[in-house]
Structure 1
Amino acid sequence: MSSLNSLIFMYNVFSKSAFLVGMLSMSLTACKKDEIKVTSEFGAAPTLAASTANAGVLAKANADNTAVTYTWTPYTIKTSDDSKVASTVTYTLQFAKAGTNFASVKEVDGGAVAASSLAIKTSKLNSLLLSLGLPVAQSGQVDVRLKTFVAGNQPTLYSSTTKLTATPYDECSAPNADTWGLVGPAGDGWPGATATDRELKWDCNANAYVLRTTLNAGDFKFRKDKDWGVNLGALTKPLTPGAAPTPLKPNGEDMTITTPGTYTVKLTVVGSGTGVTAATLTVTP
């Protein structure tokens, strides 16, 4: 090969090598410029708030009403490129007797992901209070906090503690605050200077007001809260009730016990106060 041809060959090889190096350099530069770094920012524990700090005296008549509502801001996971984060977040309300540092808790499911509130019915709150050992018919206090669990390696988060005061009722109490008494000569006579109502006790198993007592031969009726404003009697007169359910009505007729003896009196009442819509009676030896 002549010297001239050798020079031309070397020039071509050099030119191509330089071109490839330049392209590679540009490619690497472009990759650096186009690189995207995605970062995640995990939120703080949600803050818990309550609609009230004192639910007052709970009553079975309000069992289906909301006693307290808890709200919180949903837990967030943010990314620098606004992409979605596949992570399950669940919320749980924890109840504990006040001052016990949540040594023993009762939990209520608060939902997941976007959940931000939970309304607790009177019946549910009452059961929680009783299960934590709060005494019936006495004002007591519990500590409440929100537990937030984030799937993955994130630690379980807890909100600050809120306090709730309430007075639970005996779950085996009458559905209403009404009391019912038997009055008339079959019992202790018609109410007057000395005669008193023979009160029937609420029986949870029978779901009725029940009285086991000695009855005289004579007439009788039932009245609410030792007052004639609401009373129950037979649909017609004369009537001697027995083991078959006997329908009663407000301001009904006197009923009669024909044979003195010891009887179980069972009164089933639908409704409360002047809103009594139905009632039945059985009287068995």
Structure 2
Amino acid sequence: MLFAFSACEKDETQATLTPSNSPTLRASTNSVVLTQANAAQTAITYTWTPISSFSWQNASSEYQPAVTYTIQLDRQGNNFASPANISAGNGPTTALTVEALNTSLNTLGLAPGTATPLEARLRASYAANAPLYSEVLPLTATAYRVCVAPRDASGAEIVWSIIGPAGVDWDTDVVLTYDCDTRTYGTTRALNAGEFKFRRNRDWGTNYGDDGADGALELNGANITVAAAGNYTIKLDLNATPKPTFTLTRR
């Protein structure tokens, strides 16, 4: 970094700011498979040797600029032409959650479910100087497609559940999981011999039963019967026509 100190109109001295070292990057792993179910877990931790100090040439100063670090990720062989940048603060370590890493990988256009070779490096920025970079580390990553369940007009997630003694009782909802690929709700779990119904947002305002015991659902329809206790897979298809449908399969 250069600073100009002028003693007179003809004399000018260039002051140079030099970092004591370049950062050295390390990673906790070189391969990650990301899943939405583990979104809150740590996917990878990067640590580095931070720039410890700066020295001045041709100037007397104790000024030490703040250093900010950024993890850069890019496809292998792209030479960081269009990297994903992840803020890493002032160091000397950062832990990336599965969700945060997946978000960054999606900006690179990675195909979900496919292992893709990447490269990672650390960028150290200080004052107005050109940044310093660490050595490049390899990373093989498998990203996932973000599954967003249907939402209402307010943006709140719509929850579907079963309720009744076949699950727990008439006061307790068993929430179903949304599947983005099939656009259905479902669960696999132990059920009791007894009855249940489907309802939306844990409220009886919108509930479905089966009047004809034929797998087609009707609003405010009859209770659905589980004849024998056991493990079952329940699937609710609200997009089926002409009526929503469900399946109940014993495992």
| Range class of TM-score, shorter chain | 0.5 to 0.7
5+ residue gaps, structure 2 = 1-15, 150-176, 220-233, 245-251
Alignment equivalent of 2:131, drawn from 156, 159, 171:
156
**Alpha-carbon shift at residue 78 of structure 1 (Å):** 4.6
**Alpha-carbon shift at residue 44 of structure 1 (Å):** 2.8
Give SS of 2:123's match: strand
**Alpha-carbon shift at residue 246 of structure 1 (Å):** 7.3
Alignment equivalent of 1:165, drawn from 134, 140, 144:
140
CA contact (8 A) 1:240 1:258 kept: no
**Alpha-carbon shift at residue 264 of structure 1 (Å):** 8.5
Give SS of 1:101's match: coil
1:123–1:223 CA distance, 2 compared to 1 (3 A): closer
CA contact (8 A) 2:184 2:237 kept: no
Structure 1 residue 257 and structure 2 residue 210: aligned? yes
2:96 is matched with 120
Give SS of 1:61's match: helix
Structure 1 residue 143 and structure 2 residue 119: aligned? yes
1:48 is matched with 25
CA contact (8 A) 1:77 1:85 kept: no
Which entry has the higher C-alpha Rg, 1 or 2?
A: 1
Alignment equivalent of 2:184, drawn from 199, 205, 210:
210
CA distance in 2, matches of 1:61, 1:131: 20
Amino acid at match of 1:105: P
Larger helix percent: 1
5+ residue gaps, structure 1 = 1-38, 175-199, 212-221, 225-229, 248-254, 266-278
1:133 is matched with 109
Identity %: 33
Query: Across the two proteins, how many residue pairs are aligned to each other?
Result: 177
1:66 is matched with 42
**Alpha-carbon shift at residue 93 of structure 1 (Å):** 0.9
1:245–1:78 CA distance, 2 compared to 1 (3 A): closer
Give SS of 1:133's match: coil
CA distance in 1, matches of 2:126, 2:191: 59
**Alpha-carbon shift at residue 173 of structure 1 (Å):** 7.4
CA distance in 2, matches of 1:264, 1:59: 35
Structure 1 residue 94 and structure 2 residue 65: aligned? no
**Alpha-carbon shift at residue 140 of structure 1 (Å):** 0.9
Larger strand percent: 2
CA distance in 1, matches of 2:80, 2:116: 16
1:121–1:240 CA distance, 2 compared to 1 (3 A): closer
> C-alpha deviations, 1:213-267, integer Å up to 9, x for none?
xxxxxxxxx762xxxxx23468xx45555668479xxxxxxx96223575489xx
Give SS of 2:89's match: strand
CA contact (8 A) 1:60 1:173 kept: no
Structure 1 residue 108 and structure 2 residue 80: aligned? no
Higher deviation after alignment, 140-149 or 83-92: 83-92
CA contact (8 A) 2:209 2:218 kept: no
